[in-house]
């Protein structure tokens, strides 16, 4: 325990030297004081040094098991970074005894270190910032896949086996400083696994990307999280940002997006004084009305409100494929998609019936429909553009095109993206109705999805190898002009690009881009206004289907999802129309 307290003191001291504010005195909650009549829980300690997620790391961990715990009923879980803080075992003893929180097993985890081979001549590699300040789901997976299973291997001194609840509504996570960011990130990435967050003096600043949270929170479809924030007005203001203002901005963003939120602001600097004082109150609030589930609030993001139907969620439309792509709908609202490696084409009728087409799809990817009802595909297996009539009779439209995706304009012009890996510039082809083909642009890194604006005067093209969506003006002869970057997409922390793929528009001119983060929705000026995650994570393509073209279908790896929306998709085979003038 002495080593633990020393580490925490050092990790906070390096920041405290920048903050010279006087230390405030806070009231001591009775739950933070040992009570003679209250049964005491047991604390187990172990070390963990066989992580595959953070290879080579060594760390200490503690497990608090309350006296009231019984193995026949899985316990709730609270995970804390930087080991034992806030007098948590005493607080849990008292709150569980008074039924102010459920029977909860505490798991207290230190950041990892890669130990030096010779401590006399070299330092350990300290993994705290990498594990805690970085975004992405690595730390959440570390806790869920490595630490919690390790905890369940332990037994109390009286032989009780540890059983932890797998229900995210029964799990909370917390920490201070970078540990607070780490806790929020774990819940943000895995809200079905952690629903309650305690964040004290959180580092939502420019260390490893957490300063982007205040923007992402406003754009994302809200998640079922309950969050308690604490900070002081004299927290750090250094090279990475202003801690106090960052926490205040987080509170504003979470409130804007309808999260269930509580916060207490003090006047202290970067220390754990107020966090320790308010920890019992935070636990009471985070666990209030348990086991009632934490719910999702209503956002003030107008784009999300205009698009999403309250209570309507994603449904599984198909699964068991190898890699799905090429979503497109015909005039009846029937949705077609490809399983590229298996050379199969499927369709989903407006009444939800799933049908396998009796053809060899030739590893087709991109799919589109023309005004005469023909289905066009980019057949990667034969490097052809092929059209199919209503009886699946095929016609070769163009040869020697290694196409990825395509769109057919109302006037019969076909535009095709032809990437050649991520390092070589892609080609963009125009195929005229008479079959003549020509290259109309080169240079985009892995040109992928493409879509026409609702008025069909401009063309969008996604660049998978970057964060950009490009836009072109379409000349009267079908050639392209005025090429420029149009949309700047959000990129996950563990990737170098957004991997934008399929792209579609609705009748209001909104642009829906399949990406690593799900569906990113842009306005006509190219600004991402909304992010709608999908259950499968990364999306490969999307389209609007159903009889009213108000069901968004999304392909994602081995699955296809659908979700009914308030909006109607626009179809290139329909008469072009001008959407309303965008808000500048």
DSSP letter string over 321-349?
A: -S-EEEEEE-TT--EEEEETTTTEEEEE-
Q: Give the per-residue pLDDT at 583.
A: 86
Q: Residue 170 domain-assigned? A: yes
Q: Residue 102 domain-assigned? A: yes
Do 184 and 314 lie in one domain? The reply is no
Do 176 and 92 lie in one domain? The reply is yes
- For 425-468, how does the pLDDT look when each residue is reduced to its tens digit (9 = 90+)? 999 999 999 999 999 999 999 999 999 999 999 999 999 999 99
Q: Residue 548 domain-assigned? A: yes
Q: Residue 462 domain-assigned? A: yes
- Cα–Cα distance, 424 to 353 (Å, whole number): 41
Q: Give the per-residue pLDDT at 10.
A: 42
Do 404 and 535 lie in one domain? The reply is yes
Enumerate residues 6+ apart whose C-beta is below 8 A from 364: 326, 338, 340, 343, 345, 377, 378, 379, 380, 381, 386
Domain of 345, in residue numbers: 302-564
Residues in the chain: 584
- Cα–Cα distance, 243 to 235 (Å, whole number): 6
Q: Give the per-residue pLDDT at 22.
A: 58
Do 350 and 279 lie in one domain? The reply is no
- For 215-240, how does the pLDDT look when each residue is reduced to its tens digit (9 = 90+)? 999 999 999 999 999 999 999 999 99
* Cβ atoms of residues 489 and 515 within 8 Å: yes
Q: Give the per-residue pLDDT at 424.
A: 84
How many domains does the chain fold into?
2
Q: Give the per-residue pLDDT at 21.
A: 55
Q: Give the per-residue pLDDT at 493.
A: 87
Do 321 and 254 lie in one domain? The reply is no
Do 266 and 323 lie in one domain? The reply is no
Q: Residue 570 domain-assigned? A: no
Q: Residue 87 domain-assigned? A: yes
Strand partners, 513: 503, 520
Q: Give the per-residue pLDDT at 333.
A: 98
Q: Residue 573 domain-assigned? A: no
Low-confidence ranges of the chain (pLDDT < 50): 1-20
Buried b (16+ CB within 10 A) or exposed e, 527-566: ebbbbbbbebebbbbbbbbbeebbbbbbbbbebbbbbebe
Q: Give the per-residue pLDDT at 4.
A: 46
Count CB-CB contacts under 10 A for residue 176. Answer: 29
Do 423 and 484 lie in one domain? The reply is yes
What CATH number is attached to the domain comprising 435? 2.120.10.30
**Residue in this structure with the two tokens 């509504």, named with its chain if needed:** 169
Do 184 and 248 lie in one domain? The reply is yes
């Amino acid at each position: 325990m002495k080593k633990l307290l020393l580490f925490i003191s050092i990790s906070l001291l390096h920041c405290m030297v920048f903050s010279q504010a006087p230390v405030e005195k806070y009231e001591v909650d009775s739950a933070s004081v040992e009570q003679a009549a209250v049964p005491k829980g047991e604390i187990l300690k172990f070390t963990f040094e066989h992580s595959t997620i953070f290879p080579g790391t060594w760390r200490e961990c503690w497990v608090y098991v309350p006296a009231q715990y019984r193995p026949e009923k899985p316990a709730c879980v609270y995970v804390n970074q930087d080991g034992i803080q806030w007098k948590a075992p005493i607080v849990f003893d008292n709150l569980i005894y008074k039924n102010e929180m459920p029977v909860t097993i505490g798991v207290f985890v230190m950041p990892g270190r890669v130990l030096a081979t010779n401590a006399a001549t070299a330092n350990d590699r300290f993994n705290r910032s990498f594990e805690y300040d970085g975004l992405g789901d690595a730390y959440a997976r570390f806790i869920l896949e490595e630490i919690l299973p390790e905890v369940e291997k332990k037994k109390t001194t009286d032989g009780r086996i540890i059983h932890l609840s797998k229900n995210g509504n029964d799990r909370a996570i917390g920490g201070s400083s970078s540990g607070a960011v780490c806790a929020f990130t774990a819940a943000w990435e895995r809200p079905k696994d952690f629903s309650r967050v305690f964040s004290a003096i959180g580092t939502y600043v420019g260390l490893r990307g957490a300063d982007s949270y205040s923007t992402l929170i406003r754009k994302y479809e809200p998640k079922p999280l309950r969050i308690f924030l604490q900070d002081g007005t004299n927290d750090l203001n250094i090279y990475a940002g202003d801690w106090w203002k960052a926490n205040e901005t987080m509170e504003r963003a979470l409130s804007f997006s309808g999260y269930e939120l509580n916060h207490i602001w003090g006047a202290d600097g970067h220390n754990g004084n107020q966090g320790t004082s308010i920890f019992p109150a935070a636990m009471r609030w985070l666990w209030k009305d348990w086991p009632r589930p934490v719910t999702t609030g209503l956002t003030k993001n107008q784009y999300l409100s205009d698009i999403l139907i309250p209570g309507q969620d994603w449904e599984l439309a198909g699964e068991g494929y190898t890699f799905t792509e090429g979503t497109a709908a015909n005039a009846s609202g029937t949705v077609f998609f490809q399983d590229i490696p298996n050379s199969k084409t499927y369709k989903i009728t407006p009444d939800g019936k799933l049908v396998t087409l009796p053809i060899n799809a030739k590893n087709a990817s991109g799919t589109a429909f023309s005004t005469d009802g023909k289905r066009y595909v980019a057949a990667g297996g034969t490097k052809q553009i092929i059209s199919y009539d209503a009886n699946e009779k095929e016609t070769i439209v163009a040869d020697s095109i290694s196409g990825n995706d395509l769109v057919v304009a109302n006037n019969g012009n076909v535009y095709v993206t032809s990437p050649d890996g991520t390092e070589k510039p892609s080609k963009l082809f125009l195929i005229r109705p008479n079959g003549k083909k020509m290259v109309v642009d080169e240079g985009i890194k892995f040109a992928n999805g493409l879509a026409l604006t609702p008025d069909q005067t401009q063309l969008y093209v996604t660049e998978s190898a970057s964060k950009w969506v490009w836009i072109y003006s379409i000349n009267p002869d079908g050639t392209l002009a005025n090429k420029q970057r149009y949309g700047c997409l959000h990129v996950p922390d563990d990737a170098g690009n957004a991997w934008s793929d399929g792209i579609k528009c609705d009748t209001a001119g909104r642009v829906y881009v399949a990406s690593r983060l799900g569906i990113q929705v842009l306005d006509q000026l190219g600004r991402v206004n909304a992010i709608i995650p999908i259950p499968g994570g990364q999306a490969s393509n999307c389209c609007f289907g159903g009889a009213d073209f108000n069901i968004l279908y999304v392909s994602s790896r081995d699955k296809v999802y659908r979700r009914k929306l308030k909006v109607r998709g626009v179809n290139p085979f329909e008469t072009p129309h001008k959407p309303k003038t965008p808000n500048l």
